[in-house]
């Protein structure tokens, strides 16, 4: 949760953040509930102290025992009512507090949709080809890389299966990104894919993200949409040591998203699917905005280096406030050029949360004698199959063959070219 003391000190800043991020929350209602909670809590404490004093009198004044017992019952009845009221108020307080967003960092572009994102830079130039370019669906088909119809028979819309070189190419991309970050000292993690609601809430995916999560109702568990959830939550309720920071992890896992709100859009191909694989960077660092900012841009640089090694044109954008999540204070997206779409499309997302996730999950570190909430960050290293769209389309030749970037050749048996089958 956001620190309530900070909300009391900066109500206007939080009102601005609520409006900018489009959060369904009335801050005045929260502040009223907060005041009511404190008032009722004081009354509950007063009644508990009064009951305790009467209990002592019962033991020390046997002659008036019946009088004190009657008083104790009366106070107990009033206390029970107040405690029930406090539980109701605290439940509503917790619900509203769960909706309070982090305040975006200075310099965050104002805006509502991704069209309001601010372009920072472009790297690489889209190829100018004289031949008619194929889209990734046609390329995958003539290479026997994907089975769309068979997969949909088994799993419904947005399903796909990678076959042959398609499967090998995805594994090559994932392993390349994974190995590159291992070489930089990141700690590898295969995190849990099924998590409880505390993990989803703690990382900021609940509330407001329930529609996009697959739930196993019987077990009260959820399939994660990123390895970040299971990885960050593994440190729930822990206290780390300052000397061990920063902790840099690389998680790899299948990911699952309902794509709620995307009905009718991108139903064909590999762009918007329910199941995908992702290599995710996650960092825990000390509670210092300057340190957090430095780590943010290091994560962003890692992702850019991967795309450069894959010889893919891309651009970096600063994400506007309206496109930021509940807990994000700073966010950059990387959009990779996809010829068939005629656009740069999101393939990576780099986010800083400051202590938003740590407060929800109770993750602290010991700095001398005091404990502080940690700062968390994450960024995509690579996500497939979406990145396969860019790889196939940007590296195609007139005859339908596909050039393999040098960075991937060692993972594909040394092959520099993939031929149609």
Q: Which of 134, 257, 360, 364 is catalytic?
A: 257
Q: Which of 349, 351, 352, 384 is catalytic?
A: 349
For residue 409, the SS3 value is helix
Whether residue 165 contacts residue 139, with contact meaning beta carbons closer than 8 Å, is answered with no
Of 303, 329, 268, the C-alpha closest to 383 is 303
SS3 content of the chain, % helix, strand, coil (to 5): 45, 20, 35
Gap between the Cα atoms of 189 and 187, Å rounded? 7
Neighbours of 227 (CB within 10 A): 27
| Residue 272: active-site member | yes
| Residue 258: active-site member | no
Of all helices (H) and strands (E), which one includes residue 20? helix 11-21
| Residue 8: active-site member | no
Gap between the Cα atoms of 358 and 245, Å rounded? 14
Q: Which of 272, 315, 341, 415 is catalytic?
A: 272
Of 244, 251, 185, the C-alpha closest to 364 is 244
| Residue 37: active-site member | no
The vertex-308 CA angle with 302 and 312, nearest 5°, equals 125
Gap between the Cα atoms of 317 and 53, Å rounded? 64
The DSSP 8-state label assigned to residue 132 in this structure reads P
| Residue 349: active-site member | yes
For residue 10, the SS3 value is coil
Whether residue 112 contacts residue 320, with contact meaning beta carbons closer than 8 Å, is answered with yes
The vertex-207 CA angle with 267 and 212, nearest 5°, equals 15
Which residues are known catalytic residues?
257, 272, 346, 349, 386
């Amino acid at each position: 949760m956001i620190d309530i003391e900070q909300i009391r000190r900066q109500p206007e800043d939080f009102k601005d953040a609520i409006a900018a991020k489009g959060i369904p929350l009335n801050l005045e209602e929260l502040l009223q509930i907060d005041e009511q909670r404190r008032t009722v809590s004081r009354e509950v404490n007063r009644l508990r102290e009064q009951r305790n004093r009467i209990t002592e009198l019962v033991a020390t004044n046997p002659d008036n025992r019946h009088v004190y017992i009657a008083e104790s019952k009366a106070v107990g009845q009033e206390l029970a009512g107040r405690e029930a009221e406090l539980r109701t108020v605290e439940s509503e307080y917790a619900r509203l507090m769960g909706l309070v967003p982090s305040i975006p960092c200075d310099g965050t572009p104002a805006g509502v949709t991704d069209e309001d994102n601010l372009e920072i830079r472009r790297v690489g130039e889209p190829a100018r080809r004289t031949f008619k370019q194929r889209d990734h669906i046609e390329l995958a088909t003539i290479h026997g890389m994907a089975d769309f119809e068979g997969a949909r028979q088994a799993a419904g819309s947005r399903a796909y299966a990678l076959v042959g070189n398609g499967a090998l190419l995805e594994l090559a991309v994932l392993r390349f990104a994974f190995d590159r970050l291992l070489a930089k000292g990141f700690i590898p993690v295969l995190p849990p894919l099924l998590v409880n609601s505390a993990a989803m809430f703690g990382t900021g995916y609940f509330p407001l993200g329930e529609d996009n999560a697959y739930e196993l109702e019987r077990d009260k568990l959820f399939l994660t949409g990123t390895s970040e959830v299971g990885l960050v939550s593994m440190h729930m309720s822990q206290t780390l040591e300052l000397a061990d920071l920063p902790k840099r992890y690389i998680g790899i896992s299948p990911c699952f998203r309902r794509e709620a709100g995307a009905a009718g859009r991108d139903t064909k191909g590999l762009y918007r699917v329910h199941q995908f694989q992702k290599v995710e960077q996650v960092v825990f660092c000390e509670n210092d905005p300057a340190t957090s900012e430095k780590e943010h841009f290091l994560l962003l640089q890692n992702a850019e280096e991967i795309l450069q090694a894959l010889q893919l044109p891309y651009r970096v954008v600063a994400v506007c406030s309206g496109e930021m999540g509940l807990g994000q204070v700073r966010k950059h997206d990387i959009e990779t050029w996809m010829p068939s779409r005629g656009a740069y499309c999101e393939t990576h997302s780099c986010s800083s949360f400051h202590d938003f996730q740590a407060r929800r999950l109770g993750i602290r570190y010991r700095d001398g004698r005091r404990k502080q909430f940690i700062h968390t960050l994450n960024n995509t290293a690579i996500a497939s199959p979406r990145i396969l769209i860019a790889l196939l389309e940007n590296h195609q030749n007139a005859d339908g063959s596909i050039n393999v970037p040098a960075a991937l050749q060692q993972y594909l048996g040394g092959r520099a070219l993939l031929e149609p089958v």
